[in-house]
Structure 1
Amino acid sequence: MNTLEQEICESRIELDKWLREIYGDSYGNFHGENDIGYDHWDRIEKLLKKVFESENHHALADSCLDDILFLISRSDEGGRIIAWLHPNVKPLSHIADLTIENFIVLCKHAIKSGEDFCDYQLAYCFHKFDSLSKDLEELLIGLFKKDAVYTKRLALESLAKHRVPNLENYITELWATNDEWAGLNCLDALKVSGCNDELFNKYREKLLKSNDEHIRTNAESI
């Protein structure tokens, strides 16, 4: 483990300890609403800036990539390390010039790792690309195939923007989760792509009958 990897590991351990103190018994089940209050994000961002702008991205150990994804996942409310809160505006990160090559490394490792908040951040950032190469398309599909419904929702939005082949298959797969909020993403994807008007009308009609007023209101606006 080199010096940079060691510093990243120590930052992860310190943040993890702080999170356990903040969330107590609910740790592991929390949604990250307090994470942005951590005092040492500046130090973490400086470390990750070195990684993001490095030309030696393939040299990082898997354990270090685990730590990096953990730090990204806990920073989702700030949207700085991965600039996912503004999906249609470049850059990929607000803390560094995150290269495409290093973004790909992060995505590949996220796909083979457990579910976490970093997944949907990465998936939503595919909006930022003017077009997708075959490799990028496969990565985005890999993120969509993860289990978390919210990750699937944001990945579908990116898939729809780029009108990937077989988009309707991903739409019906997400619809099958029976999550009404995911259903809204399906409806929006159908509208953006125009791939199946009949299915759009079918889904919209069902969502307009929801018991949730917010679902009905959103369905009406799509």
Structure 2
Amino acid sequence: MEADFVIVGAGSAGCAMAYRLSQDGRHSVVVIEHGGSDAGPLIQMPGALSYPMNMARYDWGYRTEPEPHLGNRVLATPRGKVIGGSSSINGMVFVRGHAKDFDHWAESGARGWGYADVLPYFKRMETWDDAGHGGDPAWRGSDGPLNVTRGRRENPLFHAFVEAGRQAGYRVTQDYNGEQQEGFGPMEHTIHRGQRCSSARAYLRPA
């Protein structure tokens, strides 16, 4: 087998690289992955999310060193050993890194890594949809491969939770991945049409 590019690991980054490198139709790409297939309901069904992250078939089984500030407990640190990597076993909650973290990187010498630099890539990555409504185009993407959605929020406890945060003195935000990142508001997830939208589904399958 010959290819223009060989990618080792079909995790979140490997899937995205395969998609982008083969996008122009001129290059062939081979992706090598130690783990197995991501097919099956335990990965694809969002409600089963606690199973794959606790199965040796899908998870590398990493543990932390004893944590001195947590009574020396050893904590589980799930990492995906499967097509799609950790995006195939995580909780599907979509949260961008905080803008000030990126700006701190740039101020510390990582030129090109400020939030203004990475924001176009966050937007390029996603198709953001909230019950048929697009987001602010200054902050959100509308034609990327990764589907980012919100739950229906029909349960009255959702609104009560956000209101409780407001009454406790916290800010409320309509989009924590948009202009105002801090505050209580609707959660976003990588779920599309009732299925997990992992990097494998968003990037590798189309490639």
Q: Under a length normalisation based on structure 2, what TM-score does the superposition of the two structures give?
A: 0.30
Structure with higher helix content:
1
Structure with higher strand content:
2
Which structure has the higher relative contact order (CA within 8 Å, separation 6+)? 2
